[in-house]
Chain A
């Protein structure tokens, strides 16, 4: 699985070196941003609402039994912004956008469009990878922010509607405000930025190294999604350790 880790790091380095061309590629960045938002906003909304709701449903009754229900807002709030929203959104984007990136670039590779770019002295990294990487790096933190807000709302709805919890919205959000700070939110956004780079680079690299026709494209898409998710989960642990130290 990690046999092309070196190629991924090289691709990241080559993309970072092309950052100066971002303004020239702004139209493609905007197109990609629209694509990502359009493809994932509704799904992110549904997913986050139910994650927040389930979290409240699972923890709320136990907390209520022990007289600790006033901490529910804090628990849902912290879980959403430090862990669940960044990881779940990253997994969603890996499946929805990473696969599309790998498929599109993979088919361009197979059908010689990448070679055509090279013969015109147009860098595929600047033309294809850079706009996608910038777009996903901007879009994923925004989606995470959105997911956090919707997840909090989902938790609040369940907390107030469930008779075993019976925590008012006001009490829930008071608890949330007292336990969740700006640093917690930044923590989640920092994670999502790293995850975005992982998804972008893994997917583009898989697309660029596609061989063997339509079957090869299918293989690249699968590898892009699977490798992205595995790397996200591994990196999540190490990032959490680092960010806990910084706290």
Chain B
């Protein structure tokens, strides 16, 4: 198969016995789960529970101390796996290169790998920016964008490589509720339209239950529950019940 053409249904992921210690602290304590082709798999949990570290393992940015990850049945760290199965990541901060314009950021993958002539890159960039509603932002610098616009530009950059797997790290953090809904809808639309596999890391309950086909609940480096949103809502684990039901209780002064 031509690697530039995405798999019709994204890729499958298998994670077994994943362990990682960072700075003397065990962050992942034996993680097991499977992600099916084309689904939106949400990893939800409180801040600092190891979600982002887990996500970085899924795209090869970190190497586990123990355990293994398979992408479409191939170990992730074997030769050429990361090239064969196109993956992209949308970072929490957007991680746009500040020295480049938004358009240059979006087209960076194509220009650096010399995959298309400049005119074609400009066309693809315009198309992807339009897809996320940023058609007028190509010539702006990242510093001129709001948090939500940065996130959407980062999604456009991820789409340029025609990925089979998109990883989203806290896509709605630092966004107002309206923008969070827009980004959530964007993720859902892209998943349905492009049939990519999406893994979303978040502590936003509304986002997780709104877009997730399946949800894994993480706490302290372990997955405590995994299932459809309906199944996860029924989880009896006390920690998770607390996380799922916690809300601000205002006690007015007597």
Residue ranges of A at the interface with B (Cβ–Cβ < 8 Å): 24, 108, 111-113, 115-122, 127
Residues in A neighbouring B157, C-beta threshold 8 A: 116, 120
Instruction: Find A120's partner among B60, B98, B109 (CB 8 Å cutoff).
Output: B109
Per DSSP, chain A at the interface is helix
Q: What's the Cα separation between A26 and B92 when bound, in Å?
A: 32
Interchain CB contact under 8 A, A119 and B97: no
14 further A-B pairs in the complex, CB-CB below 8 A; given A115-B95, A122-B112: A108-B98, A111-B93, A112-B91, A112-B92, A113-B95, A113-B96, A113-B98, A115-B56, A115-B89, A116-B96, A116-B97, A116-B157, A120-B88, A122-B108
Least Cβ–Cβ distance between B112 and chain A, in angstroms? 5
A116 touching B109 in the complex, CB below 8 Å, given contacts A108-B97, A121-B82: no
- Chain B residues touching A, range: 20 to 34
Cβ of B83 < 8 Å from any Cβ of A?
A: yes
Interchain CB contact under 8 A, B91 and A116: yes
Per DSSP, chain B at the interface is loop
Least Cβ–Cβ distance between A66 and chain B, in angstroms? 57
The residue in A24, A113, A115, A122 that gathers the most chain B C-beta atoms within 10 A of its C-beta is A113
Interchain CB contact under 8 A, A120 and B108: yes
Interchain CB contact under 8 A, B112 and A120: yes
Cβ of B59 < 8 Å from any Cβ of A?
A: yes
Least Cβ–Cβ distance between A69 and chain B, in angstroms? 53
Interchain CB contact under 8 A, B108 and A113: no
Residues in A neighbouring B95, C-beta threshold 8 A: 111-113, 115-116
Residues in B neighbouring A113, C-beta threshold 8 A: 95-98
Least Cβ–Cβ distance between A94 and chain B, in angstroms? 22
Residues in B neighbouring A111, C-beta threshold 8 A: 93, 95, 98
Q: Which residue of A lies closest to B114 (CB)?
A: A24
Q: Which residue of A lies closest to B100 (CB)?
A: A113
Cβ of B173 < 8 Å from any Cβ of A?
A: no
Q: What's the Cα separation between A119 and B83 when bound, in Å?
A: 10
Interchain CB contact under 8 A, B93 and A122: no
Q: Which 6 A-B pairs have the closest CB atoms?
A: A116-B95, A112-B95, A119-B89, A120-B109, A122-B112, A112-B91
